[in-house]
């Protein structure tokens, strides 16, 4: 099959489009013909070998996590899926045997494996995954939209729905509205939970798109102070919840925008991993900090239900042929997008 793989860490030049063996479908797995695969920051970090993702070659590694496609073959023990089913794949594989998995908290499984990082991924014509990781999508949902779902909506669901429990009468501050997580957070906060949404972004064009997605107010952080503007928009009170996926550059400003008793939720740090936390403010203002990394299998089931019902709609910015994965990586590195970048085998 055709696939995009790496045989060394490096820049976009290490992305090779070529032939790799088809994956073998185990009894508990489905083999899926990939119709769309979406990019995540993790793909870029894995390619570069930074952030603890350095690995030994050979064997080559097929990159990519999120994807959607059609079931080509179902293993002998699979009861829930059949050939021809249209599915979206949760790229996070868990052991199903540890105390956390047995308790339904498989997001805490110590034996987690990510497609495209620990094992071969979705920049390919076929993948084989446990049936528990494949969810049926309705006919009106496109493969591109479905492929853009898991890694953006899982941490957002984990943060806003399950952990911070954002309420309809509350206000959430969503940092960097143009990234996949930002577009997902606006939709979940507004369309699923009915809360008020303040988003931040860097250009008038991106601000207009954030507003169209459901943001009630947008702060242009290149011209306005995030703390002051968020306070002004909440009558001086501060926001109830922050959704952060960008880290170091914005942590201090966003943290200061919280009301006493607010919740600070973070699921990423694209601008840098280290920030300074003023402990006095943490305890006197009784702030809760929530760290989120993807979500669990029940989160995924709920998200796919909302996708099939049309309540949420992942934002696809651009679709590239699989053979042009390097151009897609380049676009992500240069922040030239609003929403998700998708590859089509």
Point out which residues bind Zn ion (CB under 5 A).
94-95, 98, 101, 109
256 φ, ψ (degrees, to nearest 5): -70, -15
Shortest reach from residue 254's CB to Zn ion, in Å: 33
Distances (CA, A) of 333 to 151, 179, 202: 18, 12, 16
Shortest reach from residue 94's CB to Zn ion, in Å: 5
H-assigned helices in the chain: 41-48, 99-102, 143-147, 150-156, 180-187, 204-213, 226-233, 251-255, 279-284, 297-308, 325-333
What is the rounded CA–CA span in Å between residue 238 and residue 229?
10
Shortest reach from residue 97's CB to Zn ion, in Å: 6
Greatest distance between any 2 Cα atoms in the chain = 60
**Of the two residues 26 and 202, which places its CB atom closer to Zn ion in the complex?**
26
**Of the two residues 100 and 152, which places its CB atom closer to Zn ion in the complex?**
100
Residue 297 CB contacts under 8 Å (≥ 6 apart), including other chains: 90, 94, 104, 106, 132
Shortest reach from residue 101's CB to Zn ion, in Å: 3
Provide the 8-state DSSP code for 123: S
**Of the two residues 50 and 110, which places its CB atom closer to Zn ion in the complex?**
110
**Of the two residues 98 and 282, which places its CB atom closer to Zn ion in the complex?**
98
**Of the two residues 38 and 112, which places its CB atom closer to Zn ion in the complex?**
112
**Of the two residues 74 and 109, which places its CB atom closer to Zn ion in the complex?**
109
Shortest reach from residue 31's CB to Zn ion, in Å: 23
Residue 59 CB contacts under 8 Å (≥ 6 apart), including other chains: none
Q: Cβ atoms within 10 A of the Cβ of 89, count?
A: 28
Element (H, E) at 134: strand 134-136
Residue nearest to Zn ion (CB): 109
Is 93 in contact with 40 (CB distance < 8 Å)?
A: no
Shortest reach from residue 102's CB to Zn ion, in Å: 8
Is 128 in contact with 30 (CB distance < 8 Å)?
A: yes
What is the rounded CA–CA span in Å between residue 245 and residue 259?
20
Shortest reach from residue 130's CB to Zn ion, in Å: 12
**Of the two residues 132 and 189, which places its CB atom closer to Zn ion in the complex?**
132
Shortest reach from residue 341's CB to Zn ion, in Å: 31
**Of the two residues 293 and 320, which places its CB atom closer to Zn ion in the complex?**
293
């Amino acid at each position: 099959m055709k696939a995009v793989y790496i045989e060394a860490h490096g820049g976009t030049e290490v992305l090779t489009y070529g032939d790799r063996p088809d994956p073998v479908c185990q009894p508990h797995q489905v083999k899926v013909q990939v119709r769309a695969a979406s990019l995540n920051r993790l793909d870029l970090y894995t390619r570069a070998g930074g952030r603890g993702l350095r690995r030994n070659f050979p064997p080559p590694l097929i990159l990519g996590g999120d994807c959607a496609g059609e079931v080509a073959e179902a293993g002998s023990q699979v009861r829930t899926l059949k050939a021809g089913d249209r599915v979206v794949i949760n790229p996070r594989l868990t052991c199903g045997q540890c105390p956390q998995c047995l308790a339904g908290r498989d997001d805490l499984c110590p034996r987690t494996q990510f497609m495209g990082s620990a094992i071969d991924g979705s920049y390919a014509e076929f993948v084989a995954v446990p049936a528990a990781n494949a969810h049926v999508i309705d006919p009106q949902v496109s493969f591109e939209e479905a492929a853009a779902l898991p890694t953006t909506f899982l941490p957002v669901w984990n943060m806003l729905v399950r952990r911070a429990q954002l309420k309809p009468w509350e206000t959430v501050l969503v940092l960097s509205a143009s990234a996949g997580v930002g577009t997902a957070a606006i939709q979940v906060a507004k369309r699923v939970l009915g809360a008020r949404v303040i988003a931040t972004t860097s250009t008038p064009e991106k601000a207009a798109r954030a507003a169209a997605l459901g943001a009630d107010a947008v702060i242009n952080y290149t011209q306005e102070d995030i703390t002051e503007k968020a306070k002004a928009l909440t009558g001086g009170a501060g926001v109830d919840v922050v959704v952060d996926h960008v880290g170091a550059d914005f942590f201090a400003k966003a943290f200061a925008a919280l009301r006493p008793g607010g919740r600070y939720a973070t699921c990423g740090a694209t601008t840098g991993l280290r920030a300074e936390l003023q402990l006095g403010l943490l305890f006197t203002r009784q702030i809760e900090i929530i760290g989120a990394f993807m979500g669990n299998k029940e989160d995924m089931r709920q998200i796919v239900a909302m996708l099939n019902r049309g309540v949420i709609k992942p934002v696809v910015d651009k679709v590239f042929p699989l053979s042009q994965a390097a151009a897609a990586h380049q676009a992500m590195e240069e922040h030239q997008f609003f929403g998700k970048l998708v590859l089509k085998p």
